[in-house]
Structure 1
Amino acid sequence: MSTITVDGVTKRFGDTVALEDVSFEIDEGEFTIVMGVSGSGKSTLLRCLSGLLEPTEGEIYIDGEPVTGTNKNVALIFQQHNLVGQMSAYANALTGSLSRCSLVESVLQLQDEEEKYRALSALETVGLVDESQKKVRQMSGGQQQRVGIARALVQEPQVMLADEPVSSLDPGSAQEVMRYLRETTAERGLTTLTSLHQVNIARKFGHRFIGLHDGQKVFDGYRDDLTIDVIDRIYGDIDTEGMFVSDAETAGESSSPDGIEADGGRR
């Protein structure tokens, strides 16, 4: 497991300020959701954490080491899956081992048996081992995103980042993907940050929440602190009434990895 420190991070693209003086710390094994509307800076933050983008100002540390580029111990799940449709779920999951083998070995599936076992094990973890030979293009959006989670698990990271992993999915598929993401990262003790704009799904599956608005951190707390006033601060003038689920809809949802129940409902 890994700790994350974000210290005064600002990211500019020309005259546009995507992030402004953002700071926070994430403990080992914590499951954190970054909330905000599109354009609030969520994706920029995760790309800085993954090393795909370099902050204009400030520093990011993982286990006390500065992030200066991509890191094999940090996996990023993309919003649009980034899978190869003509390849099977198994072949896509197996590409998570690229940091440990050559591109040729990966394309020809010449990885050793241990790597192949990791791919099948990861697919089993996300409930897709029986679909392992199915071409990804024949799968639903929710299944494809679960393949993306499996691929990230094969990488064997210490930190898991997920950039709007359910934004293009229907509500049922979105909840299924979030359940697999939360459970699998808890089982493996991964420090996890996922960005979401849906308040109801965030409240149902989240433990800790960081709210961004116009690139600034406007909230950092836990579910009981996520009041309607805080939601309004994060989402501004957007009508969030339909973004909450009722207590009845969340009834029966298993507790989060840290033992805090998912309570749902508007407060």
Structure 2
Amino acid sequence: MSHVVVDGLTKQYGDVTALDEVSFEIPSGEFVIILGVSGSGKSTLLRCMSALTQPTSGEIRIDDRPMVSPRPEVAMIFQQHNIIGDLSAYSNALSGGMNRSGFFESLLQLQDDDEKYRALEALDTVGLLEESTQKARRMSGGQQQRVGIARALVQEPEVLLADEPVASLDPGSAQDVMKYLQTASVERDLTTFISLHQVNIARKFGERFIGLRDGQKVFDGYRDELTLDVIDEIYGDIDTEGMFVDTDASEGTTEASP
């Protein structure tokens, strides 16, 4: 597990300020959801936290070490999966250990038995062990995203970042992906950050929430503090009434969130 500090983080793209003096501190092992509309700064924040994007000013520290370049203990999951369709779920997952085995060993699947076990174990964590030999392009969008999660887990991270991992999925698949992310976080003691715009899914799975609006942090708190007034502050004029209905796709029922 890793302790994460974001201190005065600012990112500018020309005249556009994507992040404006964002600060927060997250203890090891928390499951954090970052809320906000498209363009609020969620993706920029996660990219800065993974060091894929460098901030204009401010600092990110993970276990008191500044995050100035990508590190293997920080894994990123992307909205578009970024997996190879012609490879099996197992081969895609196995590539997550490239930082240990090297590019050519990974390309030729010459990893040692421990590495191969990690890939199978990660697929088991996301419920895809029986589909390990299936080509990724033949899998559903939700299954492909779970392969992406497995690949990140093979990296053996301490911090897991997921950028809108359910944005393109139907409600049932979205809840499945969130369930497996939550399971992985608990089983592996990960400090986890997930960006979402769906309040209903966020409230169902999240512990702590950070709300961004126009690049500024407007909320930092826990589920019982995420009131309608706070949602209005995060989302502004967008109609959020329907975002407070949790749909249980497996049972076909709906339950209004408190």
Q: TM-score range by the shorter chain?
A: over 0.9
Q: Pairwise CA RMSD of aligned residues?
A: 1.5
Where does structure 1 differ by over 3 angstroms across 4 or more consecutive aligned residues? 264-267
What CA deviation, in whole Å up to 9, does each residue of 1:46-93 have, x standing for no partner?
000001011101010000000011010000000000000000000000
Q: Which ranges in structure 2 are unaligned for 5 or more consecutive residues? A: none
CA contact (8 A) 1:10 1:21 kept: yes
Task: Measure the CA separation in 1 of the matches of 2:156 and 2:121.
Answer: 12
The corresponding residue for 2:41 is 41
Task: Measure the CA separation in 2 of the matches of 1:110 and 1:15.
Answer: 48
The corresponding residue for 1:103 is 103
Q: Offset at 1:184?
A: 1.1
Task: Measure the CA separation in 1 of the matches of 2:67 and 2:10.
Answer: 14
CA contact (8 A) 1:228 1:266 kept: no
- SS of the aligned residue for 1:243 comes to helix
The one-letter amino acid paired with 1:80 is: Q
Task: Measure the CA separation in 1 of the matches of 2:67 and 2:154.
Answer: 22
Task: Measure the CA separation in 2 of the matches of 1:20 and 1:158.
Answer: 27
The corresponding residue for 2:209 is 209
What CA deviation, in whole Å up to 9, does each residue of 1:20-57 have, x standing for no partner?
00000010000000000000000000000001011101
Number of residue equivalences? 255
The corresponding residue for 2:238 is 238
The corresponding residue for 2:83 is 83
The one-letter amino acid paired with 1:143 is: Q
- SS of the aligned residue for 1:224 comes to helix
Task: Measure the CA separation in 2 of the matches of 1:209 and 1:11.
Answer: 21
The corresponding residue for 2:199 is 199
Q: Structure 2 matches for 1:5-44, cutoff 5 A? A: 5-44=5-44
The one-letter amino acid paired with 2:69 is: G
What CA deviation, in whole Å up to 9, does each residue of 1:131-153 have, x standing for no partner?
00000000000000110110000
- SS of the aligned residue for 2:137 comes to helix
- SS of the aligned residue for 2:10 comes to strand
Task: Measure the CA separation in 2 of the matches of 1:195 and 1:162.
Answer: 6
Task: Measure the CA separation in 2 of the matches of 1:208 and 1:217.
Answer: 14
Q: Offset at 1:265?
A: 3.5
CA contact (8 A) 1:93 1:119 kept: yes
TM-score, with structure 2 as normaliser? 0.96
Q: Which ranges in structure 1 are unaligned for 5 or more consecutive residues? A: 253-263
The one-letter amino acid paired with 1:56 is: T
The corresponding residue for 1:181 is 181
Q: Offset at 1:249?
A: 4.9
- 1:266/1:117 CA distance change after superposition, 3 Å: closer
Task: Measure the CA separation in 1 of the matches of 2:40 and 2:240.
Answer: 16
The corresponding residue for 1:142 is 142
